[in-house]
Amino acid sequence: MNICWGFYPQQEQQMATKRQRDWQRSRVYKWERAHFGEKCPELTLDECRELVSRTAQFYPGFLCPEVTDGRGRRKGGYCRHTNTIKLPRFTRTHWYACHEIAHAIVAQFYDRDGVLAAHGVMFVSVYINVLAKLKISEARALRRSAEYWKVKHI
């Protein structure tokens, strides 16, 4: 009986493209709530779409994701396969929309293979940049508060 102790080529390929552990997700969520607060003015779906189109001017080659109504979902999110951002009503705030826009930018420019942690160092750096470029919050204040909450960024 000949037994091969190893991985098949398909398994090795799957292991090589495994996503990094999302080790700072809860830190990012706590930092957002502390920095922006629980009560933020709600935006309309069209205002969220406007945020996405304004972001495109700062990132040449950025394919704007379609922003859709996410009612019926428990949370908002970005889908990299369909390039859509789905936002239920309670998630339509400046910082939440920019959070999902940052996911789209990271997916298109820095993480084409889908291996980076969803809320890792690159994501937080892009997120801070998007918020600062759209003049939603000052970059220096965001970096200081991120460091206070032990959120890593570049």
Asked if residue 80 is part of any domain, the answer here is: yes
pLDDT of residue 45: 96
Residue ranges making up the domain that contains 36: 21-148
Asked if residue 153 is part of any domain, the answer here is: no
What total of structural domains would you count in the chain? 1
The answer to whether the CB of 93 falls within 8 A of the CB of 99 is no
Asked if residue 7 is part of any domain, the answer here is: no
Asked if residue 82 is part of any domain, the answer here is: yes
3-class DSSP string for the chain: CCCCCCCCHHHHHHHHCCCCCCCCHHHHHHHHHHHHCCCCCCCCHHHHHHHHHHHHCCCCCCCCCEEEECCCCCCCEEECCCCEEEECHHHCCHHHHHHHHHHHHHHHHHCCCCCCCCCCHHHHHHHHHHHHHCCCCCHHHHHHHHHHCCCCCC
Asked if residue 130 is part of any domain, the answer here is: yes
Asked if residue 15 is part of any domain, the answer here is: no
pLDDT of residue 11: 46
Q: pLDDT tens-digit profile of 8-42?
A: 445 444 445 688 999 999 999 999 999 998 778 89
66: domain CATH number?
A: 3.30.2010.10
CA dist 135 and 94 (Å) reads 10
pLDDT of residue 16: 55
Residue 52 vs residue 38, higher pLDDT? 52
Q: Which residues of 87-115 are buried (b: 16+ CB within 10 A; e: fewer)?
A: bbeebbbbbbbbbbbbbbbbbbeebeeee
Asked if residue 39 is part of any domain, the answer here is: yes
Q: pLDDT tens-digit profile of 93-144?
A: 999 999 999 999 999 999 988 899 999 999 999 999 999 999 999 999 999 9
The pair of structure tokens assigned to 134 is 């759209």
Q: pLDDT tens-digit profile of 54-87?
A: 999 999 999 999 999 998 889 999 999 999 999 9
CA dist 86 and 88 (Å) reads 7
pLDDT of residue 5: 46
CA dist 82 and 104 (Å) reads 11
pTM over the 0.75 mark: yes
Asked if residue 8 is part of any domain, the answer here is: no
